[in-house]
Structure 1
């Protein structure tokens, strides 16, 4: 350590060194500022969509392009900008020579990446969807452009291998008289639009892969959207079988950020022109897009749960209109919206021959026989009548049997055995349920077991289960068919596939696994439960779930429905006429002024906020305001309805409402245009 008298001699040197360092830092800062002040000589203005959620700021903002960024700043790249005192992300949508801003433009802060991730087509689609659903472009672009992954961005995207000779067309298309003409138009570069009804038991992934291959062979790109990952995996295998490896990518949220961004870049760079995926794939920037395919458009998984809540069907139809592509909406069932497209002539009906349907499956309705009714008057309401056991027994000799039951769990609802009074918890009055064969009744709300339950109405201690889940169903079938494998597929344990050996597979709707060679028989239990929902689409949704289950049967198999044979949805299933059922539903909704013949929007939030929104809404004169109605604790909803022709005007009014509320910082409300359910 230095002596105290040496300290004064060191201090002046330290001060001089500090001053020199400060001067050097200041010179470097001035140099950077000077470089940033020099703007590009050609098109010095960049129009940027800033990632802000506020509706009144939903427009491009002009920024100066520094000369140092001139080469990298192009439409579609990511940048950092200074906005409201913060550094925010943005996407460049255009460059120009002049700006409407009268003052000095702030420069771009940083070029995040020179990778063009927003194509002009997707930017225009984002504008269309924001207008259609009364949302903001920023919200749409969060759905369209995945988060950046720098490591994946540095990797090259190798081109697809040369296309070899395609195998012969699968036999399934021969069941549709108009399919040959449709496929020929795809190969020749046409843009036909069709709503396709698949035959039960058809290998629909192979048929979709063939349509994609025909389009791809003609030099155009293909985009296929399906409800979930199981369908994506089946389509990937079908595409590899037809085209070979390396011609397609899959875009799903479950693949992880690096893999998803890598596959997105392969599409954006033009290295891959066939995309299959779930709803996020609807925004894939496919080059030279020639065909968009949507399978099972009635599935609610196609509806985006985040603002502005776009539906994949509407997204793809807007892309088809804007980019002039062919359209194929397919499924075993048919949605009312798809039926509306054929009714208005926007799309053709690609229907199968009736003879092909008769060969594919036989659908029957099970009920109690006269002999059983004579012995037991309550047999009419039997959950598993005698015919069901006979059909399952016969089918097990040929292969696996699928049993669809609508509820997950064991005994999901309990009631008094004598008076049918619902069983309630003595502590919180919640519903009682049984979780397993050895579990006592317990409350579904507070979890309190109640082994000594007694009916509050009649004092009886016996319980019955009016609603049984898949676990109890599997247990009953296991006892009825000893020695037979019983598998369950539901909840968090969903089977993708089962082999062709005899087995009973109990599954909830949407969780049905695919059998290797198809199911020998399909049984639909508790059909009354699906039909008992209170929703605009109750019957349509029930028929869709039944058709999807029956669609897994092998050619020549049988299906058995346990339900009311007089119900229109059950009759449509027995006749296998989902198209006719959708037409009748469409006609009825048109008479009742319901979608798709009209345009609906819901405004949901706190009562005061909803009342303010309705007051500020400048809706068309033809608009009807229904409500408000309570939909939850301190929350209500208003429905606004207009004729379909006034739909764009309603969307414009709702968009302006969002901007006014955002600018005034009013309490938030949730606006949904054409929601899936009410």
Structure 2
């Protein structure tokens, strides 16, 4: 069994004896409680395997209790958790906390009390709209798929065509008797996928699992995913761990989005988890994007992913608009386009951030501008008096706006969908966005601008303001892949991710030096060591993918050694103080 503990020295399987009263009841995947001799306490864990004999010498401790008769850990998910932990120099139990929701007894009892599993009937296999034979998805296929750029109305609601593509791919797997996992970074993206599936699949064939659901509802959905029948499983980053019967497809929408990066140890990116699961399961893998991530481009150039584009691509009407000295915030050309468009529909204005609370004053037609309004609100008020201004940002998100004339000011990533598409789109603050301190800034901007541009109505102008150079050309010609390939080539010359992998090691100087020395012997090189918080230091390591397993192994060993050191007594002779902590983060996105 695997003990649920964050202690790295406990990250391995333990043998326990099944009490006579539980023989025949304990099965692999069940939750149990066991005694820990060293800590003299009771710990939770999962049964990984049962056997009639053991190779452990001496007597075994008995299981303390069987928590639940419902197996919740499948062999496939355990193998995935182990692989993710090993790649990330982390603990498998930490991965399983992400993969298996908290138990809700009432939901579990209701699920166990069901008389039968719902019948499964294979649906008809739909055509994959917009793609030719190159996009045929077979078991084991690995594809980087360029998304269709339009909006479509389905059941009275407008969604991106990319959501229709994912729904069609998933239903095709159901038609073949296989399950599909569909991942999206944001709940609004998941909503679009669910709308598409509502018109292409039966409700009983679809399960949604995401962090915004009530915990009990999420656990109910997780139990449903354990059914021995094909399903379509939809969710955010943790959906890549979901149990799936006869998995045939793993598809990620917009894999370059930072929301796919897990914020809890061992910090594995959903794309990397999907890559591991695809290799283990033999399922197909699809990365669907408007602007391909640099990590995906690397896999395309290696031949590990096959790039597929629509047969008849439709590109937004991009207009490169230089800054205007007479109106530096919003050039006259962009204003003219907005003025013409506002008479027959909404206009989207994407900004880095609204920048002031005074935008709230522009709630409805005719509202005055507050004296402290920033430049955007001021310019909008002067140019379009009496026009409704709507705000959408992280604090005040809007999912949709009607066809009515309005100015929609949205921060990057918070742009609502307009019914029928926007009459015009203004992409402002491009230069400010490009000045953000990040090695991924160009890739992020390309993704943000591409996503906003695809919200325009067919033929509507999309003005990219104040941006020049190769990234502007890529947007104007809608050849993002060429720009991404150039970015990857530059990173190869600098030996920056994703052409190589990196890791950060943080802790007391002596422990960090010992750990990095071991990592260097495994093939890593130290880029720098700088002071961190609380008197610790942080080292950045760089290594090739071929050395990743060995480097992760040595760093994990260093973490275990640091955690297993004898604890010095406190000065007052009381309880022992905790040992110095050594923290390792593989593929740290904030390292460079």
Whether these two folds match at TM > 0.5 is: yes
Partners of 1:577 and 1:633 in 2: how far apart?
A: 47
SS in structure 1 at match of 2:387 = coil
Instruction: Determine which of 313, 325, 332 is the counterpart of 1:356.
Output: 313
Partner of 2:2: 49
Partners of 1:628 and 1:88 in 2: how far apart?
A: 38
Structure 2: unaligned runs, 5 residues or longer: 152-160, 359-368, 568-578
Instruction: Determine which of 612, 629, 633 is the counterpart of 2:530.
Output: 629
Instruction: Determine which of 481, 487, 502 is the counterpart of 1:600.
Output: 502
Instruction: Determine which of 177, 188, 196 is the counterpart of 1:219.
Output: 177
**Post-superposition offset of 1:100:** 2.9
8 A Cα contact 1:486 1:503, kept in partner: yes
**Post-superposition offset of 1:271:** 5.3
Change (3 A) 1:288 1:488: same
Partners of 2:371 and 2:467 in 1: how far apart?
A: 33
**Post-superposition offset of 1:669:** 3.1
Superposed, 1:552-567 pairs within 5 Å as: 552-565=455-468, 567=469
Partner of 1:193: 142
8 A Cα contact 1:474 1:487, kept in partner: no
8 A Cα contact 2:125 2:175, kept in partner: no
8 A Cα contact 2:399 2:416, kept in partner: yes
Partners of 2:95 and 2:120 in 1: how far apart?
A: 35
Partners of 2:126 and 2:7 in 1: how far apart?
A: 53
1:292-347 deviation line (CA, Å, top 9, x unaligned): 00011111100000000000001011110000000110111111110011111111
**Post-superposition offset of 1:606:** 5.4
Partner of 1:92: 47
1:493-537 deviation line (CA, Å, top 9, x unaligned): 101111122211111111111112122221111111111012211
Say yes or no: does 1:674 pair with 2:577: no
Partner of 1:42: none
8 A Cα contact 2:511 2:562, kept in partner: no
8 A Cα contact 1:606 1:634, kept in partner: yes
Partner of 2:415: 512
Partner of 1:6: none
Change (3 A) 1:474 1:670: farther
8 A Cα contact 1:266 1:272, kept in partner: no
**Post-superposition offset of 1:285:** 0.3
SS in structure 2 at match of 1:253 = coil
498-507 vs 266-275, which moves further:
266-275
Partners of 2:442 and 2:95 in 1: how far apart?
A: 32
Partners of 2:323 and 2:538 in 1: how far apart?
A: 44
8 A Cα contact 1:620 1:649, kept in partner: no
SS in structure 2 at match of 1:96 = coil
Say yes or no: does 1:655 pair with 2:568: no
Say yes or no: does 1:477 pair with 2:380: yes
Larger Rg: 1
1:581-612 deviation line (CA, Å, top 9, x unaligned): 11111111112112222111011345565445
Partners of 2:308 and 2:466 in 1: how far apart?
A: 30
Partner of 2:328: 382
Partners of 2:84 and 2:69 in 1: how far apart?
A: 26
Change (3 A) 1:165 1:51: closer
For normalisation by structure 2, the TM-score amounts to: 0.89
Say yes or no: does 1:327 pair with 2:289: no
Partners of 2:173 and 2:104 in 1: how far apart?
A: 31
Structure 1: unaligned runs, 5 residues or longer: 1-47, 370-377, 413-435, 440-464
8 A Cα contact 1:547 1:573, kept in partner: yes
Change (3 A) 1:128 1:496: same
